[in-house]
Amino acid sequence: MSAVLESPVLPDAAAAPAPATSWSGVLAIALGAFTVVFAELLPVGLLSGISRDLHVLEGTAGMMVSITALLAFVAAPGTALAVGSMDRRRVLIGLTILTIISSVLSALAPSFAVLFGARILLGIALGGFWAVAVPAAARLVPADKAHVSSTIVMSGISIAAVLAVPAGTLIAAYFSWRVAFVAATIIPLIVLLTQWRYLPNIVMDDHVTVADLGRVLKSPRNAAALLTLLFAVGGQYAGYTFVTPYLAQVTGVDTNVLSSLLLAYGLFSIAGNFIGGALAARSRHGTVLGNMIVFLISLLGLTIFGGNFALATVSLMVWAVVWGIVPVSLQLWIFGGATRDKPEAVGAVLVGVLQLAISLGSFAGALAVNGAGVHSAMALGAAIVAAGILMVLIVGNIDRRNG
């Protein structure tokens, strides 16, 4: 997958009432997953046009990614606490409507300030969605099929991550970035009708408290592992937020080839998902450590050989596979021993850290690009990933002491 980690936990079968099976409802939630992630990542392929038309620096335009993730960081635990036992059908439909409002405002934005505000709304929808989506989908199927419902929902993320950036780049090349946001409006409108028709009432018999969130973080080992996640995702988005202008300006890739490269990046990332699962089944710590090292090498390769099309392409595809491995390996490594009786609490913390990492990484990348040029984005990403490798070693030391 891409930008978002799979939730490693599902509701305890003993704690959940017997569900009225609704695979169509699960699909409606998966479509919602596609919608919010598509809208989140779409600007990555639009930065040059937005920068030019709204008269802001490319680094400043990249802060749209930062603010969306920052609000998602706040909204994920906030939503988990606020919604209590509210019917998740109402919550999910409301968040889809918020996504539509954000996309309409983005398409019509007369200034960067309005566009920035629209992305704030999307951040609230994004964080709220991930606080409730996977556990809600699990309530729509029998307990022994909960893992299947989770996989279906997560497939929405993977497909959106593959399509969003190349689609945005292609639409902006032939039309404009505003047309791309029109597409991001039509998609959630269709999803809203689907959810209204097929999503049943989803009653939750429990709710998340502040204490539940705190328990997820009480272990020093979990805290250190979450810092690894922070550095891994932060390094990813310090570079990936600016991959389009980087390949265009540093590597000299034209628009048609650029869209193809970004599509290939997404497909290679999906392949990485499957590779990560197979490797993590053998050794979680070894997979995370080895993957982070290759992650660093790929970013350094793009930094050093960015002007060489062949070597830059190889580095980009290795990076794609590595990034596909990150979600599976890190989620198993971090939460393999986490409590399973409060899935929304675990999911809220995980999504919160993930979105904070996206926000900080893309913001740091924006500052670097504005200050030193677009070529600095990959070097910064590599430096942040190197810090993540250090955290992996620290967690390994903790595990050895506790083992």
Domains and CATH numbers, the chain: 23-402 (1.20.1250.20)
339 has a pLDDT exceeding 50: no
More confident residue, 42 or 155: 42
Q: How many residues does the chain have?
A: 403
197 has a pLDDT exceeding 70: yes
d(CA 118, CA 162) in angstroms, rounded, equals 23
By the 10 Å C-beta count (0-12 exposed, 13-18 middle, 19+ buried), 14 is classed as exposed
The two three-digit tokens of residue 324, written as one number: 């596909």
Under the banding of pLDDT at 50, 70 and 90, the label for residue 356 is confident
More confident residue, 296 or 6: 296
Percent share of the chain, pLDDT over 70: 87
Residue for token pair 């998966």: 30
35 has a pLDDT exceeding 50: yes
More confident residue, 218 or 195: 195
3 has a pLDDT exceeding 50: no
d(CA 141, CA 161) in angstroms, rounded, equals 26
6 has a pLDDT exceeding 60: no
Q: Which range (196-210, 263-277, 349-363) has the least confidence?
A: 196-210
* Per-residue DSSP letter, 151: H
d(CA 135, CA 160) in angstroms, rounded, equals 20
144 has a pLDDT exceeding 50: yes
pLDDT (tens digit, 9 = 90+) per residue, 79-136? 877 877 788 889 999 999 999 999 999 999 999 999 999 999 999 998 888 778 877 8
Q: What is the pLDDT of residue 5?
A: 45
Q: Which of 23, 80, 94 has its CA nearest to residue 206?
A: 80
pLDDT (tens digit, 9 = 90+) per residue, 288-324? 899 999 999 999 999 999 999 999 999 999 999 998 8
18 has a pLDDT exceeding 50: no
d(CA 146, CA 203) in angstroms, rounded, equals 16
Over range 195-215, report the average pLDDT.
77
Rounded to 5°, angle at Cα 288 from 299 and 272:
65
Q: What is the pLDDT of residue 14?
A: 37
- For 289, residues 6+ apart whose C-beta sits below 8 A from its C-beta are 389, 392, 393, 396
175 has a pLDDT exceeding 50: yes
343 has a pLDDT exceeding 70: no
350 has a pLDDT exceeding 90: no
390 has a pLDDT exceeding 80: yes
Rounded to 5°, angle at Cα 99 from 98 and 102:
85
Q: Contact at 8 Å (CB) between 20 and 200?
A: yes
The two three-digit tokens of residue 116, written as one number: 């920035």
**What's phi and psi for 255, nearest 5 deg?**
-60, -45
Q: What is the pLDDT of residue 134?
A: 76
Alpha-carbon dihedral of residues 333, 339, 345, 348, nearest 10 degrees?
0
Under the banding of pLDDT at 50, 70 and 90, the label for residue 17 is very low
11 has a pLDDT exceeding 60: no
Q: Which of 368, 208, 389, 210 has its CA nearest to residue 295?
A: 389
In 10 A of CB 69, how many CB atoms?
29
More confident residue, 345 or 190: 190
Over range 321-330, report the average pLDDT.
82
d(CA 75, CA 127) in angstroms, rounded, equals 5
Angle subtended by helix axes 255-282 and 309-335, to nearest 10: 40
Q: What is the pLDDT of residue 342?
A: 59
Over range 228-256, report the average pLDDT.
89
Q: Contact at 8 Å (CB) between 92 and 136?
A: yes
d(CA 201, CA 90) in angstroms, rounded, equals 8
Q: What is the pLDDT of residue 178?
A: 93
Q: What is the pLDDT of residue 1?
A: 41
Cα distances (Å, whole numbers) of residue 316 to 15, 113, 257, 266, 288: 45, 33, 13, 11, 19
Under the banding of pLDDT at 50, 70 and 90, the label for residue 397 is confident
Q: What is the pLDDT of residue 28?
A: 92
Q: Which range (47-51, 140-144, 283-287, 289-293) has the least confidence?
A: 140-144
Residue 280, amino acid: A
In 10 A of CB 211, how many CB atoms?
9
Q: What is the pLDDT of residue 223?
A: 80
Residue 340: in which H helix or E strand, if any?
none
What string of DSSP letters covers 308-321? -HHHHHHHHHHHHH
